[in-house]
Amino acid sequence: MRFEQFGFENMTGDLNRLDSLMSDYGLVRAEQWDYERVSYDRKFELKDGVFYLRVQGYAVEGDVGAHKAVIKLLVPLLGKHYYPHGLEYGEDEHFPSTLVKQCESVLAEIKKELDEFNGL
């Protein structure tokens, strides 16, 4: 599931600031990066399965490994985890409405803070 309504794909941010902001909302980068890309994930364990809210981005300036980069964000995703295959984001996946609302709330708060520190 894609959350296109927030306009994340039009936003950039300093890597260290994004790390801190995303962490405040339970999205962690952990080992989900390389020198050009990042993924922030928040895990939800429900009776319907395991789901991940994922915000990805890539460096438009600098180097992620050096902790000095400007990250361009991509459209946030909600995926369902299937062991051992990984995440599925497809249109035919079922996502509980309460989970979707919770993700939308989290993303709205993140977007608000991104707008504030980007001067929008």
Mean pLDDT of the chain: 90
**22 within some domain:** yes
Please name the residues in contact with 103: beta carbons below 8 A apart, sequence gap of 6 or more. 3, 53, 76, 78
The DSSP symbol for 36 reads S
pLDDT at 120: 47
Q: Peptide bond preceding 84: is omega within 30 degrees of 0, i.e. cis?
A: yes
**30 within some domain:** yes
Question: Per-residue confidence at 81, pLDDT binned at 50, 70, 90?
Answer: confident
**97 within some domain:** yes
Q: Which CATH number covers residue 45? A: 3.30.310.100
Over residues 10-41, the pLDDT tens digits come to: 899 999 999 999 999 999 997 766 789 999 99
Q: Evaluate whether 6 touches 108 at the Cβ level (below 8 Å).
A: yes
| Structural domain that includes position 15 | 8-118
**96 within some domain:** yes
26: its two tokens: 């339970």
Instruction: Assess whether pLDDT exceeds 70 at residue 119.
Output: no
Parallel/antiparallel/unpaired status of strands 86-88 and 49-63 = unpaired
Domain count, the chain: 1
Over residues 66-77, the pLDDT tens digits come to: 889 999 999 999
Instruction: Assess whether pLDDT exceeds 70 at residue 111.
Output: yes
Instruction: Assess whether pLDDT exceeds 90 at residue 89.
Output: no
Q: What 3-state DSSP class applies to 21?
A: helix
**12 within some domain:** yes
Instruction: Assess whether pLDDT exceeds 80 at residue 86.
Output: no
**38 within some domain:** yes
**1 within some domain:** no
Alpha carbons within 13 angstroms on the beta-carbon side of residue 91 total 0
Alpha carbons within 13 angstroms on the beta-carbon side of residue 17 total 15
**2 within some domain:** no
